[in-house]
């Protein structure tokens, strides 16, 4: 990897640390972990607060006349973003709920196989294990072992585990521990060719990758709006292929039962859905920054520069080649940093406490890994600060 250069490809002058003033984030902290719990522009936080105030002024009027239309407006906006019909999109609180709604609604039986990978998010793995334990289905966990540099080989390797018993494949769009953008369309095609249904865990993808939901060919897709799309926490969606809508129900059955997919998911009892109502405000903010394509391109360019910087300064090694990268990247620290979960946890805490750097540090596969995020408010200096702090270790 060559030494980092600052390239003009990084886009509008508004990107970078000065944008932190438009976010609710603490500006004395170097935020390199957008991928975990997001971060919200002030205009979006204000929009959510306005919906909440409106609700509190006249709860009956709001719940009876505004609650559902505002949710449908959010579904419409998400549909516009991902080329989908609003009626195929349900708002849920988070990707974990989306995954659970699908998994727990399917009738698995003994002999059925649910395929996941060793990089499946732990909460999702737990939900699959829960369902398997109650139905006699088997979990097939495909080992995925970085470093990865060959998408064809990865598709072949995972694809070998799809067979006549595969009832469901749960495929990440972007893996959590390793930030790998999987070759999703080809994996979906391989699973479908084996006769399996496919649930995509796209927790990280909206706002990071271009998504055309119907074109993917999967059966269900869940994604968070509260990560890369910059909506408040508690905003996510579950998309369902049109023919499957009537068979999918929320985990909570309420008034909307059998009144259609959207009606069932929109009303799961009285609740505050201000985060979901504020999704269009998040999309408007992103438009104002230059739009989805520019944000995606700029963040990817930045993460590539950032990883080159860490490779040059510290000898960090990326988990994958560039073709598997969105706006996060996982890099292994050199052996001198040690191994094991306790070492990783201590390093994470030290970076936060002594250098005010927020970054996930995890141990897996015998190495310690940094997961870098690049969001619009980050700039190359943020990663240089990380390299400085790690050079002092
Ligand atoms: C791949 C993946 N799936 C699911 C989730 C769960 O997201 P949430 O906690 O919003 O449900 C995450 C969270 O980071 C994730 O990375």
Q: How far is the CA of 355 from the centre of ligand 1 (A)?
A: 27
Q: 66: which residues sit within 8 A by CB, 6+ positions away?
A: 54, 55
pLDDT in tens, 78-118: 999 999 999 999 999 999 999 999 999 999 999 999 999 99
Whether the per-residue pLDDT at 2 is higher than 50: the answer is no
Residue 192 near residue 164, CB atoms below 8 Å = no
- Say how far apart CA 171 and CA 174 lie, in whole Å: 9
Whether the per-residue pLDDT at 7 is higher than 90: the answer is no
For residue 61, the model assigns a pLDDT of 98
Q: How far is the CA of 172 from the centre of ligand 1 (A)?
A: 10
- Say how far apart CA 170 and CA 172 lie, in whole Å: 7
Q: How far is the CA of 223 from the centre of ligand 1 (A)?
A: 8
Burial of residue 173 (CB within 10 Å: 0-12, 13-18, 19+) is: buried
Whether the per-residue pLDDT at 19 is higher than 80: the answer is yes
Q: Tell me if 201 CB under 6 Å of ligand 1.
A: yes
Average of per-residue pLDDT values in the chain: 96
* Mean pLDDT, residues 7-36 taken together: 86
- Say how far apart CA 216 and CA 188 lie, in whole Å: 7
**pTM across the whole model:** 0.96
Q: Tell me if 33 CB under 6 Å of ligand 1.
A: no
Nearest to 187 by CA among 222, 211, 209, 216: 216
Q: Tell me if 224 CB under 6 Å of ligand 1.
A: yes
- Say how far apart CA 295 and CA 19 lie, in whole Å: 13
* Mean pLDDT, residues 26-46 taken together: 98
Q: Count CB neighbours of 145 within 10 A.
A: 11
For residue 30, the model assigns a pLDDT of 98
- Say how far apart CA 393 and CA 386 lie, in whole Å: 11
Distances, alpha carbon 106 to alpha carbons 100, 197, 268, 321, in Å = 10, 10, 20, 36
Band (9; pLDDT cuts 50, 70, 90): very low
User: Could you tell me the domains of the chain?
Assistant: 8-31+291-391 (3.90.1150.10), 45-285 (3.40.640.10)
Q: Count CB neighbours of 345 within 10 A.
A: 13
pLDDT in tens, 183-213: 999 999 999 999 999 999 999 999 999 999 9
pLDDT in tens, 238-278: 999 989 999 999 999 999 999 999 999 999 999 999 999 99
pLDDT in tens, 54-84: 999 999 999 999 999 999 999 999 999 999 9
Q: How far is the CA of 203 from the centre of ligand 1 (A)?
A: 5
* Mean pLDDT, residues 115-122 taken together: 98
Q: Tell me if 305 CB under 6 Å of ligand 1.
A: no
Nearest to 25 by CA among 7, 12, 44: 44
* Mean pLDDT, residues 288-298 taken together: 96
Residue nearest to atom 16 of ligand 1 (CA): 176
Q: Tell me if 277 CB under 6 Å of ligand 1.
A: no
Q: Which atom of ligand 1 is nearest to the CA of 97?
A: 11
Distances, alpha carbon 87 to alpha carbons 48, 91, 97, 243, 264, in Å = 23, 11, 18, 12, 11
């Amino acid at each position: 990897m060559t030494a980092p250069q600052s390239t003009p490809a990084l886009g509008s002058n508004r990107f970078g640390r000065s944008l932190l003033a438009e976010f609710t984030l603490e500006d004395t902290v170097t935020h390199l972990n957008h991928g975990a719990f997001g971060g919200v522009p002030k205009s979006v936080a204000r929009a959510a607060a306005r919906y909440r105030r409106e609700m509190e002024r006249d709860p009956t009027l709001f719940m009876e006349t505004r609650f559902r239309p505002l949710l449908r407006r959010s579904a419409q906006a998400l549909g516009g973003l991902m080329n989908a019909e609003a009626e195929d999109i349900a708002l849920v609180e988070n990707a974990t709920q989306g995954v659970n709604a699908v998994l727990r609604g399917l009738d698995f039986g003994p002999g059925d196989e649910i395929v996941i990978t060793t990089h499946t998010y732990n909460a999702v793995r737990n939900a699959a294990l829960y369902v398997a334990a109650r139905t006699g289905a088997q979990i097939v966990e495909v080992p995925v072992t970085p470093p990865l540099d060959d998408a064809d080989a990865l598709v072949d390797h995972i694809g070998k585990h799809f067979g006549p018993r595969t009832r469901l494949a749960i495929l990440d769009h972007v893996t959590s521990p390793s930030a790998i953008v999987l070759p999703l369309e080809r994996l979906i095609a391989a699973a479908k060719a084996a006769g399996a249904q496919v649930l995509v865990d796209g927790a990280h993808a909206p706002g990071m990758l271009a998504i055309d939901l119907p074109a993917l060919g999967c059966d269900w897709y869940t994604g968070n709006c509260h990560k890369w799309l910059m909506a408040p926490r508690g905003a996510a969606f579950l998309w369902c292929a049109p023919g499957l809508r009537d068979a999918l129900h929320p985990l909570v059955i309420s008034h909307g039962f059998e009144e259609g997919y959207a009606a069932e998911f929109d009303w799961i009892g009285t609740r505050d859905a201000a985060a979901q109502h504020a999704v269009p405000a998040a999309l408007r903010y992103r438009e104002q920054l230059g739009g989805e394509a520019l944000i995606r391109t700029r963040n990817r360019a930045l993460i590539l520069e950032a990883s080159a910087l860490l490779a040059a300064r510290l000898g960090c090694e990326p988990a994958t080649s560039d073709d598997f990268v969105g706006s996060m990247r996982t890099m292994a620290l050199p052996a001198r940093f040690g191994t094991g979960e306790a070492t990783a946890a201590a390093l994470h805490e030290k970076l936060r406490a002594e250098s005010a750097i927020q970054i996930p540090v995890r141990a897996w596969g015998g190495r310690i890994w940094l997961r870098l995020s690049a969001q619009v408010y980050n700039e190359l200096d943020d990663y240089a600060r990380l390299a400085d702090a790690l050079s002092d270790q």
